[in-house]
Amino acid sequence: MREATCYIVSHFPQGVDYIKLFKILYFAQQSHLVRVGQAIVNDTFHALKYGPVPAFIYKSLQVLEGRLSSNSDFEIFNEGLRNYHQTITCLNPPATYSNLTETELRCLDEAISQYGALSWMELSELSHDTAWQQAFDRAKDDPEKDRMSLIEIARAGGATDELITYMRQRLNNEKDGDLLSAKSSFIRNLQELGTRHAGWDGEGVCQSVNQEALANAIAIAQILDGDRLSLWIAYPAANGSITFMAKMRVVASFSIGHDGFSYVAKAKGKETLKGFNTPNPSVFKVLFDQITDLYLIDAPHPADTQTNISA
């Protein structure tokens, strides 16, 4: 994701605004799906008022604005990027884009060439294709259903029936393996936290990672379901504890320490949940499943996380 984003941004020395960046990336993604049935970026596009918006990338740029708190994933993605009044520039573009294939670069170049000079209003209108319309209409009934599937995006771009069938089979195969790999990856990331000397508060080095807290977090993760766990990330907090934070646009997190864990979950139209418990994995799992199902999967987006530009 980062290389594709930097590649686009580097073509605009004076900076590129959110809408133009997101729409160029969307059209490049769609073109690549139509050609080879695979995505350029592993991000989920949401159908917002002014067109498709990539969730993680948008969240990362909000971190640069200071509107959201940071974590290791956002820090890695935002390295070298500057956000000034929602205009993005790349201070240190990569010397090479080795993680992008020739076809991906071609699709990005074509999208930049075709759409780079258009206004945000023109880009917004062009991006309101059938994939966007279907997801936007679903979201009128349930705001959590604004996600645009890869198959919908490919079909809106003119993909053949044969390609759609291939994509469906590949996505089903990946899904079967992803639930296991998501859990393994999450636990492996936790284990790697033990090699770090300290957490962070978004600005400087803070307390060392508490090894008891880390052991509690690993024991807890081992009994959680892979499908739910794939919706969360983990990182060391400033006080040395381990934080599980929701990837999605809701306020939901767990803070795991040496003597227990605290939690908070907020969503529009839902009762706020918060509390503290002893570090019992079984108790954690009950709360984790409840919060994941009610606040991440079923809940509408909270009003305080909605964009003021509806990119």
Q: 194-251, pLDDT tens digit by residue? A: 765 444 444 444 567 888 999 999 999 999 988 888 888 888 887 889 999 887 667 8
Q: What percent of the chain has pLDDT over 90?
A: 47
Task: Give me the residue spans of the domains in the chain.
Answer: 2-159, 179-297
Give this prediction's pTM: 0.60
Dist CA 293 CA 84 (whole Å)? 36
DSSP per-residue codes, 161-183: HHHHHHHHHHHHHHHHHHHHHHH
Q: 263-291 in b/e burial notation, b at 16+ Cβ within 10 A? A: bebbbeebeebeeeeebebeebeebbeeb
The pLDDT, as a whole number, for residue 177 is: 60
77-98 pLDDT, tens digit each: 888 888 888 889 988 777 788 8
| pLDDT greater than 90 at residue 148 | yes
Written as six digits, the tokens of 219 are 């024991």
Token pair 């069938």: residue: 165
Confidence of residue 31 (pLDDT cuts 50, 70, 90): very high
Distance set, CA 300 to CA 47, 142, 214, 248, 289 (Å)? 14, 7, 32, 11, 17
Of 132-136, 150-154, 170-174, 288-292, the range with the lowest mean pLDDT is: 170-174
Half-sphere exposure of 157 (CA within 13 A, CB side): 23
Separation of alpha carbons 88 and 81, rounded Å: 7
